[in-house]
Structure 1
């Protein structure tokens, strides 16, 4: 059941929105209808965070943006207003939709569907995160490989796992770049190396890269929720962590040291 809080200073509008929401989805629970900035702040400070908030922009004692200035809101918000000039500011916050009054049933249904889709995507991301975490824990229980004999011209070069800065695929071959910036071809796939290397020291950043903890010099926030990893030695190609793998990377970097 979706728990919804309505912040609306006009009582008829609040009643209409309540009826419309419950008609579209009878499984929703309307927790309360709040009429001002002051009471909204007090309610949010003293109650369990709702799943979704319908938030009127213009309230009797100010605008709804004053609520965000006084308290952190950790759930999605659908803004409702008779004016469209606040849309840009609204979308910089927790907004998933912006409904103009009078609210049409089809517009409200579209907003609720967006919320349910977002909720489903978040649930899938959480499942993926747990699967990745379990995979990491399983790998940690194995004895990692510490030594490698790497062919180089007419020799076999002994290398330690901690010599590797990062490993990547170039022209179909796996190449290991060492901390001293030397490069060696490894006669194994990234998948094999991922299963053999110590997961406390190495992380599968994406399909193209395995990186060591020691080579990471900077972690830059990238667009679309991704992370850009800066390394030493520097990589000619960008090393990106996808949005879905960011929580797993942070967990690895912060807790597996």
Structure 2
């Protein structure tokens, strides 16, 4: 199901566009219809990224380009406007189409089909790229590091890589949680550890977490195409696999052993 956000300051136009989109593709979900730059920035800052945005150029409190100046928009955009003088500026952003008002059903259908085609092509290319990157890293990696010395009070504690359940960043430092739920500060960055740990047993879930295969107790389908990984011992913070990383995670979990 495609999740769509509409940013349109004229309520009748927003309602018309909503009805027209769902008439063309009933499987779409309209997340919200926002009317201003301010509400759009607030919504986009506090919600998951939609799959697609329909964006009116001229809003009640400014132009839509002010949204791009305040927040990064990481999804395709279809611009809607009664004027065409903004077309060149729009295409420099995330635009995949530019619809002139009044919007005709045929033009809207063409724009949606264009989005679906581009989205499918991008998804396939991303999966291939990530799979190739993962296998290249595995083939080219050095011998994995098996032993670590971690500071604890006035001592250095010897640990094996197999002791680690997962590692995360807390207050700017990397903390390793062991399978027995003990915690130790590791004097390495997550990037260094990602390159040193055995990639058959450890996976970089996101910017905050590296998880071991053994700690994974459950995997849940999460909204926006992501996965929620539950671990034992459990983590106080959610461990999420992004939509783009899901195919790589599944391949790692199922095939690398």
TM-score normalised by L of structure 2? 0.58
What does the per-residue CA deviation read over 1:125-160, in whole Å, with 9 as the maximum and x for residues that have no partner? 234323432344235x42100000111111110000
Unaligned runs of 5+ in 2: 1-19, 30-51, 53-103
Unaligned runs of 5+ in 1: 1-82, 97-102
The answer to whether the aligner puts 1:217 opposite 2:217 as a matched pair is yes
CA distance in 2, matches of 1:166, 1:195: 15
Preserved CA contact (<8 Å) 1:205 1:240 = yes
Post-superposition offset of 1:252: 0.5
Post-superposition offset of 1:114: 1.8
CA distance in 2, matches of 1:164, 1:193: 11
Q: Give the paired residue count.
A: 165
- RMSD over equivalenced CA pairs, Å: 2.5
Residue 194 of structure 1: aligned partner: 194
Residue 152 of structure 1: aligned partner: 152
Over alpha carbons, which structure has the higher Rg?
Answer: 1
Preserved CA contact (<8 Å) 1:215 1:233 = yes
Cα distance, 1:147–1:110 mapped onto 2, change above 3 Å: same
Residue 237 of structure 1: aligned partner: 237
Preserved CA contact (<8 Å) 2:225 2:242 = yes
The answer to whether the aligner puts 1:134 opposite 2:170 as a matched pair is no
CA distance in 2, matches of 1:161, 1:181: 15
Post-superposition offset of 1:88: 7.6
* Mapping of residues 71-220 of structure 1, within 5 Å: 90-91=27-28, 104-138=105-139, 141-220=141-220
Preserved CA contact (<8 Å) 1:132 1:248 = no
Cα distance, 1:213–1:87 mapped onto 2, change above 3 Å: same
CA distance in 2, matches of 1:167, 1:149: 15
CA distance in 2, matches of 1:108, 1:180: 56
Cα distance, 1:123–1:85 mapped onto 2, change above 3 Å: closer
Preserved CA contact (<8 Å) 1:218 1:230 = yes
